[in-house]
Structure 1
Amino acid sequence: MSRDTLTPDRIVRTAVELLDAEGLEGLNMRALGKRLDSAATAVYWHVKNKDNLVLLATDRVWGELSLPDLDAVDWRTAATAMATDLYGMFTRHPWLVQAFAAHVVYGEGKARHDDHSLAVYEAAGFTGPQADRAAAAVFTYVLGNAAGAAATASLTRKLDGDDAGAEEQFRDAMAKAREIAMRYPRLRTRLETPAAADYAASPDRTFEFGLQALLDGLEQQATPRKPT
């Protein structure tokens, strides 16, 4: 395929597909060119380099997020919807968590989301830097929770790939983690229950529980204290 038949949109869309399948470490111009049935050099006519491609892919998936209408819902409903939607995006595209650790992530899609997020917390009663801190606290909470999903996705790729030792390493690591955990009473009690999950697993609805607890705290801070 010649460079004339490539378009930036097709390149970025294919890059997202490659990132979803192989992670950030699997993205390179050669692999992308193969998926596009094109020479890697032809891709460079449309994107500067790998870093630029990551930013373009990031901005594309950021466009998947919806922004609640603040005239139709209260701030807390909007905050919950945005955080849940953001968490869903991170778990659909776990490489994005990796990108935050290795790149300065920016673009129109992220700016659109961040601006609306500030509007949500301004609607709650926060002003100036307070709104920034509230939005950042929720964003950081979502990103931190998504890191576990990103790690699981990376491990799954290794287990499904050609790395014959990955599964054995995983079983060995989990066995050692459980052995250490059994030395501590509360961890041992949880691991010995009939429905116990793996040591590294979180209970169901942990994300939802933590998000609502965080919003509870923000709501208390945003509400003016009554005069005594």
Structure 2
Amino acid sequence: MPADKQPYPSVWTRPQRPRREQPPLSRGQIVSAALELLDAQGIDALSMRKLGTRLNAGATSMYTHVANKDELIELVVDKVYGEVEVPSADDPAGWRAAITRCARSMRATLLRHPWIVSVQGEVGVAYLGPNVMRQNEAILAVFEQGGFTLEAADRALNTVVAYVIGVSTSEAAWLTTLARSGKSEQEWAESLWPTAEKAARDYPRLGKLYAAQRNQNMSATRDAEFDSGLECILDGLAARFAPQEVRHSS
């Protein structure tokens, strides 16, 4: 199908080309190599030429599976989402516990691959990838098991995912900066403290918050803040959408 006839320029909407013989490289090999390159060097390092060199393969072998770099990124993003723990609607601990574990797993996955946050809004129709669809179907089932209607479950899914991606985007940027500096979080915080203290001099509330955070474990604080924010999200979703008897039992 010509590119201009595609309903949307995405690897998920383009029919697969018929192959008369087995290509020297599989799609899985290409995607795995691209993921290794992205994790090691970041999004700016990815190119079809560099990937071909890494795989010792020519362009023809690559383009058998993907039409361009954008399609390749779609495939890699879906592979990353395959690492997220899929929640179970039959979780005996209840829907909140299942969604909490999934959200924590999603955050951890995104932070293992910090380059991904820079392409989240540019990845075509990523929601059509099989791993993303499997994840979303499972999350919808969990919310339905918790008493949400399907429409409410969809809103809840979008709200939780938006929260996780929003927090993870800021964290990934922070951790990337740290990695480039060669400092630990604690070392960075201590070196930044005099500047932050001076900047907050005329802002007493901020100054009080900064002072309280100075000697805390930065990684543990980020974990606690994520969990606290997620609890607020789930409280709001329960109050808005869950039946009262389910709300109290979960």
Normalised TM-score (structure 1):
0.79
1:77 to 86, 89, 97: 97
The structure-2 alpha-carbon separation of the partners of 1:194 and 1:139, relative to structure 1 and needing over 3 Å to count, comes to closer
- Distance in 2 (CA, whole Å) between partners of 1:178 and 1:34 is 49
1:45 and 2:64 equivalent?
A: yes
Whether the aligned pair in 2 keeps the contact of 1:23 and 1:154 (CA below 8 Å) is: no
Question: Map of 1:1-228 to 2, 5 A cutoff?
Answer: 5-40=24-59, 42-73=61-92, 74-104=94-124, 105-106=126-127, 107-156=129-178, 158-159=180-181, 179-193=198-212, 195-196=214-215, 204-224=223-243
The structure-2 alpha-carbon separation of the partners of 1:191 and 1:224, relative to structure 1 and needing over 3 Å to count, comes to closer
- Provide the alpha-carbon RMSD of the alignment: 3.1
- Distance in 1 (CA, whole Å) between partners of 2:119 and 2:213 is 38
Offset at residue 56 of structure 1 (A): 0.8
- Distance in 2 (CA, whole Å) between partners of 1:197 and 1:183 is 23
Structure 1: which amino acid aligns with 2:85? S
Whether the aligned pair in 2 keeps the contact of 1:118 and 1:132 (CA below 8 Å) is: yes
Offset at residue 115 of structure 1 (A): 1.0
The structure-2 alpha-carbon separation of the partners of 1:182 and 1:28, relative to structure 1 and needing over 3 Å to count, comes to farther
The structure-2 alpha-carbon separation of the partners of 1:192 and 1:52, relative to structure 1 and needing over 3 Å to count, comes to same
Offset at residue 80 of structure 1 (A): 0.9
Gaps of 5+ in 2: 1-21, 183-190, 246-250
Offset at residue 137 of structure 1 (A): 0.8
Q: Percent identity?
A: 37
Whether the aligned pair in 2 keeps the contact of 1:124 and 1:222 (CA below 8 Å) is: no
Offset at residue 174 of structure 1 (A): 8.3
Structure 2: which amino acid aligns with 1:117? I
Whether the aligned pair in 2 keeps the contact of 1:13 and 1:57 (CA below 8 Å) is: yes
Give CA deviations for 1:95-115 in whole Å, capped at 9, x if unaligned.
Answer: 222221222223111011111
Offset at residue 124 of structure 1 (A): 1.6
Structure 1: which amino acid aligns with 2:107? Y
The structure-2 alpha-carbon separation of the partners of 1:136 and 1:183, relative to structure 1 and needing over 3 Å to count, comes to same
Whether the aligned pair in 2 keeps the contact of 1:32 and 1:40 (CA below 8 Å) is: no
Whether the aligned pair in 2 keeps the contact of 1:83 and 1:142 (CA below 8 Å) is: yes
The structure-2 alpha-carbon separation of the partners of 1:47 and 1:159, relative to structure 1 and needing over 3 Å to count, comes to farther
Whether the aligned pair in 1 keeps the contact of 2:91 and 2:98 (CA below 8 Å) is: no
Offset at residue 125 of structure 1 (A): 1.5
